[in-house]
A and B are shown apart, each in its own frame.
Chain A
Amino acid sequence: MEGLGKPQLEQTHVHNVYNIIAGHFSATRYKPWPVVDDFLRGLEKGSVGADVGCGNGKYLGVNPDVFTIGSDRSDKLIDICRERGFEAMVCDNLKLPYRDNCFDFLTSIAVIHHMSSPDRRLMAVNELIRVLRPGGRLLIFVWAFEQEKRSRRRFEEQDVFVPWKMPKNVYLPEGSAAANTTPNTTVEEEGGDVVYQRYYHLFKEGELEEIVGRSEGAIIDMSGYDRDNWYVIVTKA
């Protein structure tokens, strides 16, 4: 992990990996998390919002009475959203293309933990707050350092690579499997699987609240822990 600049680390071990694993990732991401589901279903009818880092769009259709625009840094994941009939675009959480104060609600589900420095995590939160209207609500979920007892993962450090295993020749888009077509992406052969390394910053208890608390105008209504993740629900002042 040392030696790569922060943006380069994210390019190599977040953006490139998601583009390669998009199809396989999407096939394993369909069940909404209850806290996210409740947040979306509790919104006022006719609300307009954005899911920043929407992945395969699994939350875009949860509540048909609101209008949600999806976005992700991975164009391959956005292609999947479009094939499913959702409105979605390619953009970067660190520089959102939306006007100030324009959304009634926002969701950031499993996104900020891919930002590789405290400054970049704060920048991401600041951008979310900027585009949220005063009184609008934001839900943020990040992966927790503290894993539940039943969880299969244990972490030694907060900044880690988490492998994504793809069965060889199953989900690989033509030509993208070989390391030489995806420079700097770690590819290991392991019993027929191809393993890609995704970068994560795992949040310790209180850390998400601390970052959000530094963003001007953010008021934390609620925070909690759910299924190995920390979350906050925020209102903009």
Chain B
Amino acid sequence: MLQCHAKSCPQGQSYPLAIRNAELEQLDAEFNADFVTRLMPKLDWAVLRKTAFELGVAELPAEIPTEPTQADLQLIHKVALETRIKEADMVCNGCGHVYPIKDGVPNMLLQDHEI
């Protein structure tokens, strides 16, 4: 969902941001199968899958499940709702801009000349 928005960033390469030097934390969120089912079509599956794999969170199926099982839903719940990046750098593949995540908070502000 997040993209690079620096003025000099080349079109088409501002998404997704790569995640480097990540420190993760595990949260406890109440599982709600209905909510996860409704959330699924809004996810960028390929990006979520790649990120979850690279960060060692989980291996999601290659294609988004059309008839998700309870286990699928629980896995998506864990990846999308119970995993939080505590510390990391989000790096734009287009222009190299680094957005830090500190104590769970991404800082997406730009300098004046980048707007």
Contact = CB atoms under 8 A, between A and B. Distances in A.
B109 A90 contact: yes
A65 B35 contact: yes
Contacts of A89: 105-108
Contacts of A62: none
Nearest to B106: A89
A89 B42 CA distance: 20
Nearest to B29: A85
B28 to A, nearest CB: 10
Interface size grouping (class) on chain B: 20 to 34
A7 B20 CA distance: 32
Contacts of A94: 115
Interface size grouping (class) on chain A: 20 to 34
A193 interface: no
B22 interface: no
Nearest to B114: A95
A72 B63 CA distance: 35
Given A45-B35, A46-B34, A46-B39, A102 B1 contact: yes
B45 interface: no
A99 B1 contact: yes
Contacts of A155: none
Interface in A76-90: 78-79, 82, 88-90
B10 interface: no
26 contacts: A45-B34, A45-B35, A45-B38, A46-B34, A46-B35, A46-B37, A46-B39, A48-B39, A48-B42, A71-B108, A78-B105, A79-B105, A89-B107, A89-B108, A92-B109, A92-B115, A95-B5, A96-B5, A97-B2, A97-B3, A97-B4, A97-B5, A98-B2, A99-B1, A102-B1, A104-B42
Interface of A: 7, 44-46, 48, 65, 67, 69, 71, 73, 75, 78-79, 82, 88-92, 94-99, 102, 104
